[in-house]
Amino acid sequence: MTRPSTTDTQRPSGRPSGIGESVPRPDGRLKVSGEFAYSSDLWLEGMLWGATLRSPHPSAWIRSIDVGPALAMPGVFAVLSHEDVPGERFYGLEHRDQPVLAVDQVRYQGEPVAIVAADHPETARRAAAAIVVDYEVRPAVTDPRRAAFDPSCPAVHPGGNLVRHQPVRVGSTFAAEVVVTGEYEVGMQDQAFLGPESGLAVPAEDGGVDLFVATQWLHVDQGQVAPCLGLPPEKVRLALAGVGGAFGAREDLSMQVHASMLALRTGRPVKMVYGREESFFGHVHRHPARMRYEHGATADGRLVYVRAEILLDGGAYCSSTLAVVGNAASLGVGPYEVDNVWIDAYGVYTNNPPCGAMRGFGAVQACYAYESQMDRLAAACGLCPVEIRVRNAVSQGSRLATGQLIDSPAPLAEMLTELAAMPLPPDAPTTGAPFTDPAGTGMDAAGPDLRLLPGGVAQATRGEGVRRGVGYGVGIKNICFSEGFDDYSTARVRVEAAGGEPHVLVRTAAAEVGQGLVTVQAQIARTELGVERVTVAPADTGVGSAGSSSASRQSYVTGGAVRAACVAVRERLGALRAAHPELSLVEVLERCGPVEETREFRHRPTFPMDPVTGQGNSHTQLALCVHRAVVDVDVDLGLVRVVELAAVQDVGRILNPLALEGQIHGGSAQGLGLALMEEIQVREGRVLNPSFTDYLIPTILDMPPMRLSILENPDPHAPYGLRGAGEPPTLSSTPAVAAAVRAATGLDLPRVPIRPEDIALV
């Protein structure tokens, strides 16, 4: 079977390789050459292929399921429905409300109803299509406002449609000299990872199963899969296969239980790989949001109060909605000082596609609204967008709306000042500007360079309607898990003699999903132990949990665990070397044997938000990023070109400069996508664009040059003083781009993504 091997991260001769250095990724060359084994590349002799039958309806009762036609097909080894689930029939990330296979009803288009194993993937797909399901279609609940507030609305689940209501209440003054209001909407964004859901389940001799899968959280998968299979956790062993992107969507289960059920039923390895269309139905998306905000301020622009209603559509099942609502509520006014706050954040069930974790996790939606409001407030007070933010910026010693003290550096005003001082790009191209044609495109040399205009060479104008705009955005994001979650990671570090020199083996269950965690773990080991040869073993459930690769937490908690284990190893080695002063390190290891230590690392405790007031120390760390966007907009065609993004971000301590820059670029690209093009189109519960033909994501031609300033103001509570960095750029880039488009067009634009028809002037 092909799977990722252990990763030897020994540095090239003479190159620095510890914390603070741009150490190359050990998997980088394999990925760019196409040699890296992703989960969809897994192969085992004699394996079968799995396929899933999914509901075509957003809401329906199931009257009957006839698997006979599928079982009669040559090459089919198993066809399973809910009646064949060997253990618990429901699972869920935070609330076990989702059936392994639909029982008596379906609640969203694409819900799994039956699964098939066959000797060829096409046979499996045809067999799944041959299953006959008798549905009684019923009206779908698709309006989240009706689901939340209309007592006559049908209940998607027996307990009603409200997943969570989280208020935040501070102060009592809700009148001001200047008042601005707005209603905002954020569309349903997809994580759009390139590697589809896939994995291989292998039945084991002990009656259990070995599952090789692309995931973000091995142990929470194990905790959900094992009960559904009717097995103890130790008989469900998971190993991380190559992950082709994640961004939150792999926190929830996809094919894990299904492949395992088929493997145990047939006694053969079973591989499942989703196609692109199925992937859109097979994972959660970003919660779409409808938000109402009111900001009150003094005449000189100092905030007096904020009122907000944040409504998040969680779709058919709970997934991460509970936590997403908590983040939206606690961060709902942004990184601004305001004494009076009245927030109501709601998460609701509907028959729309399930929504869960995506980069930014509740804070993205709120950020778009509160930043749009700050621009409105600036205009109402006669201030520039930067000044209104500087006057209200939090700093160390400020408190969030939840009452939580910001007890580490938060130099937001300084970050904004630095951002505003960055030079702007050259002026926009104008009609009749000189043009050279080095690429030999044959374009008219008398006109502007069409490649620098919105729409590029395919557009129909010559830049007559192009206007430039500049906009700013600020975001604050919690790092690590919040609200009392037992958030920890485990690391096992072993030092031994190998080939005449010391060698370090680092083992954790932390998922490498492309963020560079494998590299950072090795850097920490080299820094703490002074040993250059370091191997990071593939992640699996054979070591204690490392939690999820989400919430920008792995460098913090797994980095902390690796560091703690290394310190313990170092102390033991120091004692051994003191006992054998005449021996070198490798000689000590050869005489005394390997030294191994396992450590858990937990960040300081957090606490649930008060259910009535929203008060409480719900977060362990907060991170800030600010963006400036420069755009050119063709107001005749409604086309936008982002000319430049500039960002200032405080990361506490830089562990790997090049990898960090990549995280900021990547987060900014996803924020740009949400601002201008990325949206799953859902009509009456049905997805209209489940393909990369119709679901648009930024390409290299859409992503502009970036100007970065990365600050290091260490957090005294975090390992190495670091501050999680992967998510904050996704927050602030979206409102910055939207603000720039508003500045260019003079339009209100209360919704993202901004579509051409929202812009084109008649």
Tens-digit pLDDT profile for residues 177-200: 999 999 999 999 999 999 999 999
On the question of pLDDT at 342 being above 80, the answer is: yes
On the question of pLDDT at 456 being above 80, the answer is: yes
Question: What pLDDT was estimated at residue 154?
Answer: 98
Average pLDDT over residues 728-739: 98
Confidence class for position 212, pLDDT limits 50, 70, 90: very high
Average pLDDT over residues 606-623: 98
Q: What angle, rounded to 10 degrees, do the helices at 218-229 and 256-266 form?
A: 50
User: 427, 465, 458: which is closest to 634 by C-alpha?
Assistant: 465
Angle at 427 between CA 422 and CA 428, to 5 degrees: 125
Question: What pLDDT was estimated at residue 430?
Answer: 56
In the block, residue with structure tokens 């064949």: 84
DSSP 673-741: HHHHT----EETTEES--STTTS----TTTSPPEEEEEE----TTSGGG----SSHHHHHHHHHHHHHH
User: 181, 354, 227, 189: which is closest to 689 by C-alpha?
Assistant: 189
Given CA atoms 560, 566, 572, 577 in this order, what sign does their dihedral have? negative
For the chain, the distance separating the N- and C-terminal CA atoms, rounded to the nearest angstrom, is: 61
User: 557, 563, 583, 586: which is closest to 495 by C-alpha?
Assistant: 586
Neighbouring-strand partners of residue 80:
115
On the question of pLDDT at 150 being above 60, the answer is: yes
d(CA 481, CA 404): 15
On the question of pLDDT at 282 being above 70, the answer is: yes
SS3 375: helix
Cβ atoms < 10 Å from Cβ of 716: 9
- Where does 266-302 show beta strands of DSSP type E? 270-273, 289-297
d(CA 109, CA 54): 8
Q: Distance of CA 8 to CAs 19, 505, 602, Å?
A: 17, 9, 27
Confidence class for position 718, pLDDT limits 50, 70, 90: very high
On the question of pLDDT at 402 being above 80, the answer is: yes
Cβ atoms < 10 Å from Cβ of 232: 10
Question: Sheet harboring 209-213: ordered strands across?
Answer: 76-80, 112-118, 48-54, 270-273, 198-203, 209-213, 236-240
Q: What is the DSSP letter of 209?
A: E
Residue pair 707/645 in contact by the 8 Å Cβ criterion: yes
Cβ atoms < 10 Å from Cβ of 3: 17
Confidence class for position 15, pLDDT limits 50, 70, 90: low
Tens-digit pLDDT profile for residues 642-665: 999 999 999 999 999 999 999 999
Confidence class for position 602, pLDDT limits 50, 70, 90: very high
Q: What is the DSSP letter of 171?
A: -
Q: Cα torsion at 281, 92, 666, 490 (round to 10°)?
A: -150
Question: What pLDDT was estimated at residue 438?
Answer: 44
Tens-digit pLDDT profile for residues 33-48: 999 999 999 999 999 9
Average pLDDT over residues 85-114: 97
Residue pair 202/210 in contact by the 8 Å Cβ criterion: yes
On the question of pLDDT at 710 being above 90, the answer is: yes
Cβ atoms < 10 Å from Cβ of 169: 16
Residue pair 336/410 in contact by the 8 Å Cβ criterion: no
Cβ atoms < 10 Å from Cβ of 276: 13
Rg (the chain; Cα; Å): 27
Average pLDDT over residues 549-553: 97
On the question of pLDDT at 443 being above 60, the answer is: no
Residues in the chain: 762
Question: What pLDDT was estimated at residue 459?
Answer: 75
Question: What pLDDT was estimated at residue 435?
Answer: 40
SS3 153: coil
Q: Cα torsion at 357, 289, 754, 110 (round to 10°)?
A: 60
pLDDT greater at residue 531 or residue 447 = 531
Tell the burial category of 693 from Cβ atoms under 10 Å away from its Cβ (0-12, 13-18, 19+).
Answer: exposed
Percentage of the chain beyond pLDDT 70 is 95
Residue pair 35/101 in contact by the 8 Å Cβ criterion: no
Two tokens, residue 629 = 């966007």
User: 292, 286, 287, 288: which is closest to 184 by C-alpha?
Assistant: 292
Question: What pLDDT was estimated at residue 1?
Answer: 52
Two tokens, residue 61 = 């009762």
d(CA 192, CA 197): 11
Return the half-sphere exposure (C-beta side, CA atoms, 13 A cut-off) of residue 383.
Answer: 21
On the question of pLDDT at 3 being above 90, the answer is: no
d(CA 494, CA 506): 7
In the block, residue with structure tokens 């031609």: 701
On the question of pLDDT at 434 being above 60, the answer is: no
d(CA 275, CA 352): 21
